[in-house]
Structure 1
Amino acid sequence: MLPLNSNQIPALFQKAGNLARSGKPDEALKVLAQLQTIAPNRAEVPFQIAQIHQQLGRTDAALKAYGQAARLAPAEITVWRAYVNLALSLDASSRSMVAKQLKSAKLPATEHKRLTAILKGTGSSTKRVSKTASKSEIDALTALLNAGRAKEAAAQAHALLARGANEAVTMVLGVALAALGKVDAAEAAFKTALSADPDYGEALAQYGQFLLKQTRRTDARKVLEHARRIIPDNPIVLGNLGMLYSDINAPREAIECLDALLKQAPGNAAGLFTRAKARLTLEDAAGTLEDLDALAVKTAPTGEMLALRAMAEKLLGNLEASRNAIEEALKTDPNHLRVVTMAANLLQQAGDFEAAEKVLRDAIARGVRSGSVYRMVAQGRKLAQDDPLIDEMKALWDRPDLPDEARIDLGYGLVKVMEDHKDAEAAWTYLSRANEVMARLHPHDMNKEQGDFDRFKAFLKGFDPARIGDCGYDQNSTVFITGLPRSGTTLVEQILASHSTVTGGDELGIFHPLGFEQVAKVAQAGGHIGDMTDAQFEDLGRAYQAAIDTRLPDADRITDKTISTYQIAPLVWLAMPKAKIVALRRDPRDNLWSIFKNRFVPGLHRYSYSQAALVQTYRLYTEYLDLWRELAPDRIYEISYEDLVDNPETEIRKLLEFCELEWEDACLNFHKTKRDVKTLSVAQVRQPLYKSSVGKWEPYADHLKELLDGLASLDAKNT
């Protein structure tokens, strides 16, 4: 090989960039390592290395590379900002190390001071020096706000600002204007305060709270997470981030924030209530009841509190306590939207669709006009063409002042009605608008999905299938059922849960976070799966079993229908060698169409509102399965939804054989099994197998050109 020379530097930089952008980070790092040998003093080389390591979650390696870049370019602001921002997400010793190095930086005084202040911002507030208003004057402004005198506070703030610009006063003005309902003027004030200092913690906290109240969750998240890096203990930041994470269905992140808040203020009612909701999302029934009990000491129970209690008691198997709580909830707040929908949801899970519909229709008759109520009625059964509810839904849809969340729910409800009545064009009209709104509120990052796959594939370097069975916890025999949503996973779980020795666990969502917590520790140190010890895999399996024992204490063998299991199969094999993985395949046209037309919990399955993103998700699903088949072909069982529908007994026998279960007729008569079902397929699994869901995409073919062309392109590449 010819020696490298300086003339190759531009070409190597371009090659490294192309590799990184095309999802080949480790190859990019190899090229950058070559660059370091011929250009050891160029700061952009370690800077790019740091960025790649940071994207891969290797924070130790990233921190080291940023430090090298900062030493080579002590006056480069971009390097120092990236270095400091990474340090903020790490421990105190890392921040201290960066702060020490920052002392020798050759930055403008204002930038140096700003970055130093950020690194020291480990409390609940930032120190500020005000030149145009005294502390007592600013405190007086805040007192006016706290007393509910927003108009006076705004007038006084304007008077103080006449002396000159002041970001603290401008922030208070923003809060006052927001309280007065002057949304545009309030936002302008917050932006003015932050233009003077983009890292003004309190202004970020107030602006984030303002954005959250405007339901601009994506913007609020960015602002509040920035605020937390600067003032991590601030109760406004912690409380609002907790609510935000709960709203976007990120319960673990919500609980982490709320734990920190409640450590400071154990009696914070809003914190207790939001944490109870987040704990319930994770099916931590005991934790939910703990928070509700603490809340009950401070305030009379509301209908929503009682409804949460009902759902928690149901999870614990206390059916009578659950029924009593939901009845009390409906008496306490009969017109509260969440009370109505939670009551109906509990009844639907139990298979009592008539009772659920009565709760919903009674609420509508009392004047509860909500898209979610109408949607639940429509999805519960086929509405007759002359049902007055349909005209009500259409009239509500036509209102220009309909809030986004209501339009989303109503749209998906109307899609179901129009599909039932074979009116594809009308269904598409409602669906396209609902999906458009959902995509705007919950944007999807296609690069992240690809990046997740690439990073985990790179982490699998050194995977040894011979280790399967020689490590891990061998007392767990869970059957994991995985696949894309709407592919038949709920059906397969219902079949297996009909077996006398199996308990249906539904979407438990336990293993993925446990597994990736271990992966992150190893990856941050630059390691791979081959570097994980037998003890780590056994601990992972035991941790999963402990969570199962808490959630389903009387179960011998369970099913876990967590969708994301297909992304982490090798961790399951090594942590629990006796566990089984069953993966569903379905005609992608039917599968993706069914995903596209259904409403999922906001924040989950964000790819489902875009045809291009759906094609990418399907491609990645097949690539995951192809990779697992290559690594350990006998460890994952693939079942076709169409084959199952066409030849149920044959396919069920093969499924039971893979799961090492004896044949039982009950598995063929799965629709007679009484158990709670919590997914969109709650109604379907109460019926015998049917073929009517095959080919449902065809009436919409003209509208699905992007999706169909994308799938055709994938087929062409694979042939």
Structure 2
Amino acid sequence: MSDTLLEQAKRALAGGDAEQAWVLTQQAVEQAPDNIETLYLSAVLCRLRGDLRQAHVQLDALLAIRPGFGRAHQERGHCFRTEGKREPAVAAYEKAVSCNPLLTASWQLLEAHYRQADPAKAREAKDKIAEVEAMPLELRAALAAYYDEDFALAEERVRSFLMQVPDHPAAMRLLAELGTRMGEYEDAQFILEKCKELNPGYLQARFDLADVLGKRFHYEHALREAEELVSVESQNPNFLMLRANLLLQTGETDLALQEYQTLHDREGDNIRVSLTLGHALKALGRIEEAISAYRQTYGLKPDFGDAYWSLANLKTYRFTDGELGSMISEEANPAIDRDDRIHLCFALGKALEDRGDFARSFEYYARGNALRQEVVGYRAAAVTREIDEQIAHCTSGLFAAKSGSGCVSEDPIFIVGLPRAGSTLLEQILASHSMVEGTTELPDIMAIASRLNGRQEQSEADRYPGNLAELSVEELGALGSGYIKSTQVHRREGKPRFIDKMPNNFRHIGLIHLILPNARIIDARRDPMDCGFSVFKQLFAQGQDFSYDLDHIGRYYRDYVRLMDHWDTVLPGRVLRVQHEDVLDDLEGQVRRILDYCGLPFEQSCVEFHRTERAVRTPSSEQVRRPINRDGAGVWKNFEPWLDPLKTALAGQLA
């Protein structure tokens, strides 16, 4: 009904009957107060009627729902311009084109503004106008839908256009981007490789190809693509940044740092360069320099939530009164980007927790988690079904039938479990041994599981893990050997053993056992309330979608324990469980137990793990550079009044 009213209102406005358009739009707003297009048209009509205050109210409501809606920012600019507020109007137009580069009205007004003040920016705006106007109308319509976040319509339009012009590079790039957004990385890679073959000079698509290869964990291939880009444009900051990011991903932290530092010296006003420089410095333990980089980043963009969260994520940093006030003010801005708001909420939760203001701290943690859950759309039932499938198919009979299969390498030591359960501490202990190299959370096992599952329609049942029974001894051996080969890119020190601490690998222990029967597997276990609340406080870069709701966390923990109990039953003695609290109580005893299980001689350096200098790229990096302590134990009790959903979900797991 509201769509019908909206279309009627648009027709009335196009026909010159602004009053009828107004009446119909207000009826549409009443029926669908969260409809983006209705709120947008209402704001436009408010401005045309001279009611600028109400126009801003409508835009506030719209941007609270869709912060990246470019046309809303453009309309905000029109309102400011009508009010004679030149600088806010310019800022709004700049925001508009950053969200939607097709908005020629914003570009035209920016070009006029910068004609005298900044000729270079004026030329850029003029070039953008020409670029948009030269674009085929069908492609422009597809891109318009994309920037409005109507991805289904964008795909429909771009596919229709490609039927007419099959090798159009910008259209191929858009289709690949839509695939990437849907997680169809293999499809995106295929399209971009074809685009490179047909249009080798179209560097934007080649940049996307390197990025997609990185997302698929094909780091060596991605680095080759990045090197090719740099060889074509050696001073392009985006290409240099891409190469540096890939170096960081493959453990070449020192080389990556050199690149970031060079970029930072040259591009000092680039917030992404400053932020990532801080990340590299943090990984190397150069904390004061990392803090300086993060502070410089929010100095460049005061509402850049990731800079504040990066400071909070150091775990040892304490915000100043001024920083706290700035964060509160920026988060309260209704026009702030959603991602910035999420990062600020988590940072404010940490800042207020450190000050003992637990009620306000929890409010921000809860707000940040709720916003993030809206983005990830986690479904707890899907994970429960996955665990059920592992239990149903990975039986004692399967392992008996496949006895003697797999690659015989003893190199890998897997550390599995939930995040925030003490896995980084165990990694640091083991990586302090002369025979063991610490790497990072490697994606290779999950990539193997994904390949075994294959591409499917949503209605199709999963092939994996049921098809493990169909694999021959030779095929299982090849998968194990492939894992050893693919992880070689992360091994830089020539040591005989290495650590893979991807926590989610607990869901694939059956696969690990079949393809790497001599690998060691350690289950990092922590008190469920300590672990659960610590997960709730953490904003993860990716891959832990269960963590943004207390009930989801509790259910995930239950499923995790249920599956680990199954592995203990069907593979007795295969997994070593290490309880975090036991490590705190008896460090040396647990170190000896871990080393014995791994077949490694005792070394005192493992007890003195905090003295080991190495890059650590997880949230606990600073905590493992200090001697053993109990700082994180029992923290959840400060928030107990608000944790009933977690307690309820953990029923049966609490002592």
For 1:695 and 1:525, the matched residues in 2 are separated by 39
For 1:694 and 1:248, the matched residues in 2 are separated by 39
Give CA-to-partner distance per residue, 1:302-356, whole Å, 9 cap, x none: 3343233334445667666434321221133222221111111010000101111
Give CA-to-partner distance per residue, 1:275-304, whole Å, 9 cap, x none: 333444566554333222332355453334
Which residue in the other structure is 1:373 paired with?
A: 307
Which residue in the other structure is 2:477 paired with?
A: 538
Residue of structure 1 aligned with 2:428, choices 491, 494, 500: 494
For 2:204 and 2:308, the matched residues in 1 are separated by 29
Which residue in the other structure is 1:290 paired with?
A: 224
For 1:693 and 1:525, the matched residues in 2 are separated by 37
Q: Which runs of 5+ in 2 are unaligned?
A: 1-99, 107-135, 456-460
Q: Is the 8 A contact 1:314 1:322 kept in 2?
A: yes
For 2:161 and 2:425, the matched residues in 1 are separated by 48
Residue of structure 2 aligned with 1:306, choices 240, 248, 256: 240
Instruction: Name the SS for the 2:577 alignment partner.
Output: strand
Q: Is the 8 A contact 1:284 1:551 kept in 2?
A: no
Say if 1:596 and 1:254 are closer, same or farther in 2 by CA, change over 3 A. farther
Matches within 5 A, 1:233-252: 239-240=173-174, 242-243=176-177
Residue 593 of structure 1 aligns with an amino acid whose one-letter code is F
Say if 1:654 and 1:228 are closer, same or farther in 2 by CA, change over 3 A. farther
Q: Is the 8 A contact 1:221 1:241 kept in 2?
A: no
Which residue in the other structure is 1:673 paired with?
A: 612
Residue of structure 2 aligned with 1:388, choices 319, 322, 341: 322
Q: Which runs of 5+ in 1 are unaligned?
A: 1-175, 183-201
Q: Is the 8 A contact 1:304 1:338 kept in 2?
A: no
Residue of structure 2 aligned with 1:357, choices 291, 297, 300: 291
Residue 388 of structure 1 aligns with an amino acid whose one-letter code is G
Matches within 5 A, 1:49-448: 179=103, 209-210=143-144, 212-214=146-148, 216=149, 220=151, 224=155, 239-240=173-174, 242-243=176-177, 254-281=188-215, 284-299=218-233, 301-314=235-248, 321-367=255-301, 369-380=303-314, 382-384=316-318, 386-448=320-382
Which residue in the other structure is 1:692 paired with?
A: 631
Residue 587 of structure 1 aligns with an amino acid whose one-letter code is D
Tell me, yes or no, if structure 1 residue 662 matches structure 2 residue 605.
Answer: no
Give CA-to-partner distance per residue, 1:477-496, whole Å, 9 cap, x none: 31100001111111111111
Give CA-to-partner distance per residue, 1:489-542, whole Å, 9 cap, x none: 111111111110000121111122214423559975996433321011101111
Q: Percent identity?
A: 24
For 2:465 and 2:340, the matched residues in 1 are separated by 46
Which residue in the other structure is 2:564 paired with?
A: 625
Which residue in the other structure is 1:637 paired with?
A: 576
Give CA-to-partner distance per residue, 1:557-577, whole Å, 9 cap, x none: 101001221111111111111
Tell me, yes or no, if structure 1 residue 510 matches structure 2 residue 510.
Answer: no
Which residue in the other structure is 2:524 paired with?
A: 584
Report the Cα offset of residue 652 of structure 1.
1.4
Q: Is the 8 A contact 1:224 1:237 kept in 2?
A: no
Q: Is the 8 A contact 1:208 1:221 kept in 2?
A: no
Tell me, yes or no, if structure 1 residue 609 matches structure 2 residue 543.
Answer: no
Q: Is the 8 A contact 2:417 2:524 kept in 1?
A: yes
Q: TM-score, normalised by structure 1?
A: 0.65
Residue 211 of structure 2 aligns with an amino acid whose one-letter code is K
Q: Which moved more, 1:405-414 or 1:276-285?
A: 276-285
For 1:177 and 1:598, the matched residues in 2 are separated by 33
For 2:385 and 2:153, the matched residues in 1 are separated by 20
Q: Is the 8 A contact 2:349 2:362 kept in 1?
A: yes
Instruction: Name the SS for the 2:650 alignment partner.
Output: helix
- Number of corresponding residues: 518
For 1:263 and 1:453, the matched residues in 2 are separated by 42
Say if 1:675 and 1:221 are closer, same or farther in 2 by CA, change over 3 A. farther
Say if 1:322 and 1:386 are closer, same or farther in 2 by CA, change over 3 A. closer
Which residue in the other structure is 1:648 paired with?
A: 587
Q: Is the 8 A contact 1:380 1:683 kept in 2?
A: yes
Report the Cα offset of residue 628 of structure 1.
0.7
Instruction: Name the SS for the 1:697 alignment partner.
Output: helix
For 1:678 and 1:585, the matched residues in 2 are separated by 20
Q: Which moved more, 1:338-347 or 1:250-259?
A: 250-259
Which residue in the other structure is 2:503 paired with?
A: 563
Q: TM-score, normalised by structure 2?
A: 0.71
Q: Which moved more, 1:443-452 or 1:563-572?
A: 443-452
Q: Which moved more, 1:255-264 or 1:578-587?
A: 255-264
Residue 513 of structure 1 aligns with an amino acid whose one-letter code is A
Residue 397 of structure 1 aligns with an amino acid whose one-letter code is E
Residue 610 of structure 1 aligns with an amino acid whose one-letter code is D
Q: Is the 8 A contact 1:481 1:563 kept in 2?
A: yes
Report the Cα offset of residue 394 of structure 1.
1.5
Give CA-to-partner distance per residue, 1:366-395, whole Å, 9 cap, x none: 455411112212333555564422222122
Which residue in the other structure is 2:123 paired with?
A: none
Give CA-to-partner distance per residue, 1:51-81, whole Å, 9 cap, x none: xxxxxxxxxxxxxxxxxxxxxxxxxxxxxxx
For 1:366 and 1:208, the matched residues in 2 are separated by 33
CA RMSD of aligned residues (A): 3.4
Residue 306 of structure 1 aligns with an amino acid whose one-letter code is L
For 2:611 and 2:254, the matched residues in 1 are separated by 23
Report the Cα offset of residue 213 of structure 1.
2.7
Say if 1:411 and 1:574 are closer, same or farther in 2 by CA, change over 3 A. same
Give CA-to-partner distance per residue, 1:651-680, whole Å, 9 cap, x none: 111111111111111111111111111111
Residue 430 of structure 2 aligns with an amino acid whose one-letter code is L
Report the Cα offset of residue 425 of structure 1.
1.1
For 1:593 and 1:222, the matched residues in 2 are separated by 40
